[in-house]
Amino acid sequence: MAIPTFVDQVTLHLAAGRGGNGVASVKREKFKPLGGPDGGNGGQGGSIILQVDTSVTTLVDYHHSPKRRADNGGQGAGDHKNGGNGKDLVLAVPDGTLVKDADGNELADLVGHGTTMVIAQGGRGGLGNAALASSKRKAPGFALLGEPGDELVVRLELKVVADIGLVGFPSAGKSSLIAAISRARPKIADYPFTTLIPNLGVVTAGETTFVVADVPGLIEGAAEGRGLGHDFLRHIERCAALVHVIDTASIEPGRNPLDDLEVIEGELARYGGLEDRPRLVALNKVDVPDGQDIADMVVEELRGRGLRVFEVSAASGAGLRELTFAMAEIVVASREVAPDAEPERIVLRPKAVDASDDFEVVGTDDGWRVRGTKPERWVRQTDFSNEEAVGFLADRLSRLGVEIKLARMGAQEGDAVIIGPENNSVVFDFKPSIEAGAEMLGRRGEDERLRENRPARERRRDIAEAMETKSEEEARADVARRLDEERKKKGPNRSSGSSGVGPMSYEIGTKDDPDWDGSDD
């Protein structure tokens, strides 16, 4: 199987990097068993960027490797350490690359060296519990997950950026003409369809430098798919002018310059979009005796149609100077009216909606489906193995107004609530918290470890007060034992449900005792 060297259409499967997860961590130091949340945030996932590079002339690299993936973001760590951002994946594309989605809709036209397009955005990193802490949720025991990066299928189509396009029948001498007026060295032979890919040549005429491209294989019916021309007609869409290269020495029966011109013009008209391009006509191969005679027969009729006609020979060089300067004249005029192409940065982003009602609720046979940017993003960020994280999600949905809207639409307790894309949804049982009010013992997602009336805190405070009245022979552990004996004699605290000893399951005065000072009794 032949390996292609020129590819102008490819389909890419792209996956941006996933954002790193945040971390739930509590700072622990000596004498500070709960120093506060210090979990860092996850890093941003790497994005996939298309960048125009004029040194790249084909899409062949993506023909062999159509699946590309960017790096994931790093996970956060304790001590407020954020995860590293994933490395962006930059894909070099030729100048003139058209980007379309899987349905064929045009997304961007990349023209100009250095122009970039963020085609797949990396996922955002999840917040650590330090960023989620607030006055009401002092030490969250959860963190948010990183969001997945964009995954999509795009189609790249190359439209060669050239100033002049050469069109004509096979073996009309287009490749020979490019070789004669530039330093390009295309394959040249005396049989049709020698040229299988568009050839480019850089031409200098006076102080003007421009690019000439030929379209191979144009024959009658090319616009409908016959021959090779239909594969390459797109490459002349960006040209400022078209040059008809007509073979005046063709030995094929029934061929003449006027018919060749009408056939090619008919194909260009059926392809469409090229009617406004200026035309030049190059009657090629006038170095052949019969070629010069035929050129003399048709030159006046062609000029009578308003066309600029040049009698040239790619072999001898006759008429090439006049032809190149005529091309340069059109190119200069085109560049004067065209805006300067400057590198730009294109980013594909969904339409931002920050309104409080950024969601909709739809009743389905499976349950109530909630659609919206915020609810779907919050579900992706939630670690459903952590009850506190689920409670935090419920709080967010409640503040957004999801529960109220469900209730107004007639949702009953126990109904299924579906959030997320069709192929990866999360299903909840509707359990409204609107009526809970003062009966709630605490806010969902609130961490009870930092309550002011913790038994362990009260015990340490009692020991500290008793240390002021201890005898010289008593150590801290002796004071703690004495207080525990006194609590046991008093019996359990019926009002609080405590046994009077405290929540620790260790022997006082051992290494398991967090108040042990390390000394022997």
Tell me the range of 27-36, 83-92, 410-419 where mean pLDDT is highest.
83-92
Binding-site residues for Mg(2+): 175, 195
Per-residue pLDDT of 254-299, as tens digits, reads 678 888 888 888 888 888 878 888 999 999 888 888 888 888 888 8
Mean predicted confidence (pLDDT) in 6-23: 91
Per-residue pLDDT of 378-406, as tens digits, reads 999 999 888 888 888 888 888 888 888 88
In the predicted model, is pLDDT for residue 501 greater than 90? no
In the predicted model, is pLDDT for residue 97 greater than 50? yes
Round the average pLDDT of the chain to a whole number and report it. Answer: 80
Mean predicted confidence (pLDDT) in 493-513: 47
User: What's the pLDDT score for residue 149?
Assistant: 93
For residue 366, give the nearest of 438, 306, 428, 413 by alpha carbon: 428
Nearest-angstrom CA–CA distance, 85 and 91 = 19
According to DSSP, the β-strands at 97-101 and 151-158 are: antiparallel
Is the distance from CB of 375 to CB of 402 less than 8 angstroms?
yes
Provide the pLDDT confidence category of residue 118 given band limits of 50, 70 and 90. Answer: very high
Scanning the structure block, which residue is given the tokens 């310059």? 257
Mean predicted confidence (pLDDT) in 218-222: 59
In the predicted model, is pLDDT for residue 507 greater than 70? no
Largest CA distance in the chain: 131
Provide the pLDDT confidence category of residue 518 given band limits of 50, 70 and 90. Answer: low
> What single-letter amino acid sits at 62?
Y
User: What's the pLDDT score for residue 263?
Assistant: 85
Mean predicted confidence (pLDDT) in 176-196: 67
Percent of the chain with pLDDT over 70: 78
Q: CB neighbours (10 Å) of residue 440?
A: 10
DSSP 273-326: S-TTS-EEEEEE-TTSHHHHHHHHHHHHHHHHTT-EEEE--TTT-TTHHHHHHH
Binding-site residues for GTP: 168-175, 193-197, 214-217, 284-287, 313-315
Query: Cα-atom radius of gyration of the chain, to the nearest Å?
Result: 38
Provide the pLDDT confidence category of residue 91 given band limits of 50, 70 and 90. Answer: very high
Using CA atoms, how far residue 451 sits from 29, 174, 443, in Å, is 19, 85, 13
Rounded to 5°, angle at Cα 220 from 216 and 224 = 90
SS3 state at 486? helix
In the predicted model, is pLDDT for residue 246 greater than 90? no
Nearest-angstrom CA–CA distance, 4 and 408 = 62
Binding-site residues: 168-175, 193-197, 214-217, 284-287, 313-315
Provide the pLDDT confidence category of residue 494 given band limits of 50, 70 and 90. Answer: very low
Is the distance from CB of 244 to CB of 282 less than 8 angstroms?
yes
Nearest-angstrom CA–CA distance, 521 and 509 = 8
In the predicted model, is pLDDT for residue 504 greater than 70? no
Q: Which residue would you say has higher pLDDT here, 338 or 39?
A: 39
Per-residue pLDDT of 126-168, as tens digits, reads 999 999 988 878 888 899 999 999 999 999 988 877 888 888 8
In the predicted model, is pLDDT for residue 121 greater than 90? yes
